Chain A
Amino acid sequence: MTRSFIALLLIAVLLALVPFMMDDFFINLCSQILCYALFAVSLNLIVGYGGMTSLGHAAYFGIAAYAVTWLHTVAGWDHLTSAIGAVGVATGTAAVFGVLALRASGLSFLMITLALGQIVWGVAYRWVALTQGDNGMRFPQRPAPFGIDINGAMSFYYFSLIVFAVSVYVIWRVVNSPFGASLRGARDQPRRMRMLGHDVWMIRWAAFVMSGFWAAVAGLLFVYYQKFVSPYAVSLQQSAEVLLMTILGGASTLTGPMVGAIIVTLVKNVASTYVERWNALLGLIFVLAVVFMPTGLVPGFRRLISRKKPAAAPADETATPPAAAPERAS
């Protein structure tokens, strides 16, 4: 308890000091990592804790980015109202898509989320009047929360850090709440959970909507950072990347997706300047992780450490659950 508190404090101090240790390029990179880390943590709510693997999560991320841009530049709303409106639109989309996708589970669920994500991508790409298609939309000016200018690399980093910290705190509360326990229960034994009186469908749907909400918040960070949004934000590539982050780092742990986001973003931005085929490098990392740490890096390293110290508690609370019993069609 106290040890993890000290670790948390250390990480917080380290994160707060980042801008004093790096140049603007790396500070911006860190802002980007925070954005993707939140995106991955949001996806992890359904992938890790809910056992529902989605390949369409970029939809809510990208819809929020598009919506805030459209509301601000075309409809002329102010920053705060556009941001709230955009998160509302994206969360509403998640609510509707959730109803559609949750008619199925497992692989079918994955395919439906993929299809829904591709519809959003199609709209972004083809409905030129709304989205300006391939050209994308410019977001002219970052907001100034409480009058504070966040155009500089350092100030934007702190802005991202605050949004990230608050979001992750709330998600952490949810994960440890009775609802979080029910969500994991519905992942491991859906049939039993029904027999215990739980509304498995509603639990999953609520998690799905929450997951979309936090993806939308990450989408806001994304468009504020880039000052630009294009169909890439809602593409399958984007959905696949965030899923990779989640699984690579370790789904069903809170820190796993963050570690995954760090690795993937670094490989994308840093390694790509030295290695032309950075995608292959990413693939190699993923293959190695799957072979040696199939539950992800964070649980994998945790297990390594606890094996070195046999005195430590043997139980690994984050171990992936056994495959849930296949659900009977009713």
Chain B
Amino acid sequence: MIPALEITGLSKRFGGLVVTRDITMRIAPGERRLIIGPNGAGKTTLFNQITGDLRPDAGSVRLFGEELLKLRTKDRVAKGLARTYQILTLFPQDTLLHNVVLALLGLRGERWDFWRALRRRSELFDLAHDALTQVGLGGSGDRLVAETSYGERRRLELAMALAQKPKLLLLDEPLAGLSQNERNAVSALLTTIPRDVTIVMIEHDMDVALAFAEQITVLHFGEVIVEGTRAEVVADPRTREIYLGE
């Protein structure tokens, strides 16, 4: 079977600092993969190389067998890649609906329509409304992002990514900064995402993350230290070493 995401020999250094060291990973279609590691382990840097924000020095990244590294970010997105950001990256002066509509436009030819009014595109707004409903924000579409709570913005991040119907979804700490209640709500939401979406998630909340993921990769100093099922990784002494010190 062709893996959903296949990373081979990926390396990146900034001067003397190696941020990604020969990372190789295979993630099966429909898999839920968790990436953990201490701060500075290179988790977000890895995401940035998959999406094209950063250009790796060597290696290859394939999405369902197709090489991504030669493509620009927007073309990778067109192949079915979506991500959310650890640091919220939204359009604060616009409504929630408008945010999702921008996400929808990104993959549609209508984005080059210079003439017809956007607000008359009811089909786009209907789709956006559906995506918001999916994350429990169906009633808040007309509010401005600036007026919403942090938890709602986290959900909006998710709605924007899901609206694009991605094949591979990269979640960068989707629970960061949320209260316990919100965490439970969002993680319940994550489990409702259908299996035709493969998910790679960076997360520090171990309770939620371990419950969610089937396969876990531990990164440390840009390197894959341990990889395996939940039980294998938790039992591995190297995991303890990294997280608890020697």
Interface of A with B (CB < 8 Å)? 173-174, 176-182, 184-185, 188-189, 191-200, 315, 317, 319, 321-322, 325, 328, 330
Determine the chain B residues whose CB is within 8 A of the CB of A317 once the complex forms: 93
Do B92 and A178 touch across chains, with their CB atoms under 8 A apart? Answer: no
Determine the chain A residues whose CB is within 8 A of the CB of B102 once the complex forms: 181-182, 185, 193, 196, 198
The chain A residue sitting closest to B82, CB to CB, is A195
Determine the chain B residues whose CB is within 8 A of the CB of A181 once the complex forms: 98, 101-102, 105, 118
Do A177 and B118 touch across chains, with their CB atoms under 8 A apart? Answer: yes
Contacts A192-B91, A315-B144, A315-B147 given; 19 further ones with Cβ under 8 A?
A173-B114, A174-B115, A177-B113, A178-B113, A180-B118, A182-B102, A182-B105, A189-B90, A189-B91, A195-B51, A195-B53, A195-B77, A195-B82, A196-B105, A196-B164, A197-B106, A197-B164, A198-B102, A325-B89
- Total A-B residue contacts, Cβ distance less than 8 Å: 104
- B residues 86-129 near A (Cβ < 8 Å) are 89-93, 98, 101-103, 105-107, 110-119, 121
Do B73 and A173 touch across chains, with their CB atoms under 8 A apart? Answer: no
Whole-angstrom distance between the Cβ of A117 and the nearest chain B Cβ:
26
Determine the chain A residues whose CB is within 8 A of the CB of B105 once the complex forms: 178, 181-182, 196, 198
Whole-angstrom distance between the Cβ of B192 and the nearest chain A Cβ:
22
With beta carbons under 8 angstroms apart, the residue of A177, A185, A189, A194 that contacts B115 is: A177
The chain A residue sitting closest to B116, CB to CB, is A177
Do A321 and B107 touch across chains, with their CB atoms under 8 A apart? Answer: no
Residue tally, chain B, CB below 8 Å to A: 40
The chain A residue sitting closest to B107, CB to CB, is A197
Do A177 and B106 touch across chains, with their CB atoms under 8 A apart? Answer: no
Do A182 and B111 touch across chains, with their CB atoms under 8 A apart? Answer: yes
Query: Cα distance A192–B82 when bound, in Å?
Result: 11
Whole-angstrom distance between the Cβ of B159 and the nearest chain A Cβ:
12
Interface string of B40-69 (1 = CB under 8 A from A): 000000000001111100000000000000
Determine the chain A residues whose CB is within 8 A of the CB of B117 once the complex forms: 173, 176-177
Interface assignment of B74: CB less than 8 Å from any CB of chain A: yes
Do A176 and B119 touch across chains, with their CB atoms under 8 A apart? Answer: yes
Do A178 and B110 touch across chains, with their CB atoms under 8 A apart? Answer: yes
21 A-B pairs with C-beta separation under 8 A? A173-B114, A174-B114, A176-B117, A177-B114, A177-B115, A178-B112, A178-B113, A178-B118, A178-B121, A179-B113, A182-B111, A185-B91, A185-B102, A188-B93, A195-B53, A195-B83, A199-B74, A317-B93, A319-B93, A325-B89, A330-B54
With beta carbons under 8 angstroms apart, the residue of A176, A191, A196, A200 that contacts B53 is: A191
Whole-angstrom distance between the Cβ of B78 and the nearest chain A Cβ:
6
Whole-angstrom distance between the Cβ of A120 and the nearest chain B Cβ:
27
Do A322 and B92 touch across chains, with their CB atoms under 8 A apart? Answer: yes
The chain B residue sitting closest to A180, CB to CB, is B118
Whole-angstrom distance between the Cβ of A75 and the nearest chain B Cβ:
32
Query: Cα distance A193–B164 when bound, in Å?
Result: 13
Determine the chain B residues whose CB is within 8 A of the CB of A178 once the complex forms: 105, 110-113, 116, 118, 121
Whole-angstrom distance between the Cβ of A126 and the nearest chain B Cβ:
38
The chain A residue sitting closest to B109, CB to CB, is A178
Interface assignment of B160: CB less than 8 Å from any CB of chain A: yes
The chain B residue sitting closest to A174, CB to CB, is B114
Query: Cα distance A189–B89 when bound, in Å?
Result: 7
Determine the chain B residues whose CB is within 8 A of the CB of A197 once the complex forms: 74, 77-78, 106-107, 164
Do B119 and A198 touch across chains, with their CB atoms under 8 A apart? Answer: no
Determine the chain A residues whose CB is within 8 A of the CB of B212 once the complex forms: none
Interface assignment of B221: CB less than 8 Å from any CB of chain A: no
Q: Lowest 8 A-B CB distances belong to which pairs? A: A197-B106, A196-B106, A197-B77, A194-B73, A192-B89, A178-B113, A179-B114, A197-B107
From A178, A193, A321, A328, name the one whose CB has the most chain B CB atoms within 10 angstroms. A178
Determine the chain A residues whose CB is within 8 A of the CB of B103 once the complex forms: 196
Determine the chain A residues whose CB is within 8 A of the CB of B113 once the complex forms: 177-179
Determine the chain A residues whose CB is within 8 A of the CB of B110 once the complex forms: 178
Known: A181-B101, A330-B54. A198 touches B93 (CB 8 A): no
The chain B residue sitting closest to A316, CB to CB, is B93
